[in-house]
Amino acid sequence: MFYFYLLKSEKTGRFYKGHCEDLQKRIKQHNSGKTSSIRSGIPWKAVYTESFSSRGEAAAKEKYYKTLKGSKELALKLKAVGSPARAGTNPGS
């Protein structure tokens, strides 16, 4: 199983989009500081995930959600599920 995930920094409120095979392991890696580009946002919390049967599908969804159209769709999904995303906040990467 592969996943698209959206993380939110509990420190800065920023969002990070990614995909992986082992979601729990990947979140631990982000929170351990192994991803230098987002180290300043630790701790990160998963606020939205989608599962896929292939890495290609998960990667394609990540790429789509990083587009303007995809970001808008993702924001609507977050609003629908009552995610901690703030109104008017673009869940960018």
Helix, strand counts (H, E) of the chain: 3, 3
Task: Provide the token pair at 91.
Answer: 């869940």
The domain segmentation of the chain, as residue ranges, is: 2-80
Residues 69-86 have a mean pLDDT of 83
| Cα 76 to chain centroid, rounded | 14
pLDDT average, residue stretch 49-78: 96
Is residue 66 over pLDDT 90? yes
Contact between 86 and 13 under an 8 Å Cβ cutoff? The reply is yes
Alpha helices by DSSP H, the chain:
23-31, 55-65, 68-80
Q: Is the pLDDT of residue 77 over 70?
A: yes
| pTM of the predicted structure, to 2 decimals | 0.84
**What is the overall mean pLDDT for the chain?**
89
pLDDT of 88 > 70? The answer is: no
The CATH number of 2-80 is which of 3.90.550, 3.40.1440, 1.10.287, 3.30.420? Answer: 3.40.1440
